[in-house]
A and B are shown apart, each in its own frame.
Chain A
Amino acid sequence: MSEHRIDVTINGRRQQTTVEGRKTLSDFLRIDAGYTGVHVGCEHGVCGACTVIVDGLAVRSCLMLAVQADGSAITTVEGLAPVDGSLHPVQQAMRDEHALQCGFCTPGVVMTFAALTSGPDKPDAEGLLDALSGHVCRCTGYQGIRRAARKLASDGGTERS
């Protein structure tokens, strides 16, 4: 068993702390750092609910050790909305399209869409829908989420469903 110093920036706040080698990033974010918007569903990389953004990329936080995030910038769903109380464009699109029911999978889906639509190379609807395959939603039948994805796509959702 080994303990390690890590230095990470979560939602813009720098934190220096110590973690056990075996602690997953998802447990670190939830339990140590208090970002409970990181939802842990399956805990072995199947459901996608724990997806966060690490150095600009959407990753499953249960499939990464906290110690591996040393030196990284992490964004969780808590870090998306601006402080003025408005919503991030992805959150707004999800809301407008009624893209959630129980909401358990939602933070993961939102982080994937946020990672893919924030850069200069915004994917088309097909790209976003392909990335959505990395998330399991047991309530919605995905139709609302797919409408939100199309709205967020670079081609404005011209792809047929």
Chain B
Amino acid sequence: MKPAPFDYYAPKTVDEACALLAEAGGGATVLAGGQTLLPLLALRMSQPFILVDINRIASLKGVSRANGATRIGPILRQNEAIADTTLRQTLPVLVTATQHVGHHQTRNRGTVGGSIALGEPAAELPATAVALGASVEARSVRGVRRIRAEDLYLGPYATSLEPDELITSIEFPDGPADAIPVFREVAQRPGDFALIGLVGSLAFDSGRISRAGLAWFGMGPTPMKARQAEQALIGQSLAGLDVRAIAELAVADTEPFDDRHASAEYRRTVGRRIFARTLSDALDVRNAA
């Protein structure tokens, strides 16, 4: 099908974009990479009056470092993120997660910010942002505010962003330099949405786990932070860690659903197993180091 008619604007500055969103009073949609929005438009599941294309706003591009954090411009393409030397150094988990987003061809257009703003519950990047304690800067004509990723997601495709707000940057705080990346995804085919996914990082201090940031995707209506498991892991030494018990705690913080691809019970079962396996692998990496 063809998209329903809309007015198209391609502002050159954030201020212009925010003015357009404010004027539209909720009738506008932001176009970033378009790899989810264009299908929604073509299927007429989304019929905005106004499309605000942010791809020509130069200040929304790029990766920078400031105050112990990595700042990502929202229209950084997913394939640019994968190739970015700063991100490879500071956020290897984000790079790995991004390699699992869609296909090569969609990653050439799809953006990091677009995926984070959309809040698809089975997508890799929202969960990565939640696991790593990222936050987004949201700007509107009313001002600027910072929203923690874990406060951003309310439900499938529903976020706490107001209709007139635009994400102008995503900030990932630095973790400890020797943190071990965690990423595991179960999908029917490469490039498909995850049935079950786990992402995050673990850090160690004198043989004990000092920081744990872990979140699930595909395991509930939003990215699900594995809070109980994170807390149970802190302070644990490697020897004698009850991996199975912690895996049980980890799935306790999920709300998986039945769909035509998998039942909730299947998701929980596989979730427990990949959690235990991923934790064991991470500990092996640590032991080998």
Interface residues of A (CB under 8 A from B): 1-2, 4, 20-22, 24, 27, 43-46, 48, 51, 57-60, 62-65, 67-68, 112, 116, 130-131, 133-134
CA distance A44 to B38 in the complex (A): 7
Kindly list chain A residues whose C-beta atoms are within 8 Å of the C-beta of B41.
22
**Known pairs A67-B10, A134-B103; A1 contacts B42 (CB<8 A):** no
Ordered nearest first, which 8 A-B pairs have the shortest CB separation? A134-B103, A21-B8, A44-B39, A131-B104, A1-B5, A57-B108, A22-B3, A63-B38
Task: Establish whether residues B53 and A68, one from each chain, have CB atoms under 8 Å apart when the complex forms.
Answer: yes
A121: nearest residue on chain B (CB-CB)? B83
Contact B7 A21 (CB under 8 A): yes
7 A-B pairs besides A21-B5, A22-B8, A64-B34 with CB distance below 8 A are A20-B5, A57-B79, A63-B34, A63-B106, A64-B109, A65-B53, A133-B191
Docked complex Cα distance between A59 and B51 (Å): 20
B239 at the binding interface (Cβ < 8 Å) = no
Residues of B within 8 A of A (CB-CB), count: 31
Which residues does chain B contribute within 8 Å of A134, judged by CB atoms? 102-106, 191
Residues of B within 8 Å of A131, CB to CB, are: 103-105
CB distance from B70 to the nearest CB of A (A): 24
Specify the chain B residue showing the minimal Cβ separation from A50.
Answer: B105
For B8, B34, B41, the residue with the greatest tally of chain A CB atoms inside 10 Å of its CB is B8
Interface residues as binary, B187-201 with A (CB distance below 8 Å gives 1, 0 otherwise)? 001110000000000
> In the complex, which residues of chain A have a beta carbon less than 8 angstroms from the beta carbon of B102?
134
Determine which of A27, A63, A65, A116 lies in contact with B8 in the assembled complex, contact meaning CB atoms within 8 Å.
Answer: A65
CA distance A67 to B56 in the complex (A): 12
Check if B104 sits within 8 Å of A63, measured CB to CB: no
B39 and A22 form a contact (CB under 8 A): no
The answer on a CB contact under 8 Å between B8 and A48 is: no
A45 / chain B contacts, CB cutoff of 8 Å: 35, 38-39, 106
Question: What's the Cα separation between A115 and B55 when bound, in Å?
Answer: 22
Q: Is the CB of B103 within 8 A of A63?
A: no
| Nearest residue, chain B, Cβ from A3 | B8
Known: A22-B41, A43-B42, A45-B39. A63 touches B109 (CB 8 A): yes
Name 17 interchain pairs, CB-CB below 8 A, sorted by A.
A2-B8, A20-B5, A21-B7, A21-B8, A22-B2, A22-B4, A22-B6, A43-B2, A45-B35, A59-B105, A62-B42, A63-B109, A65-B34, A65-B38, A67-B53, A68-B10, A112-B104
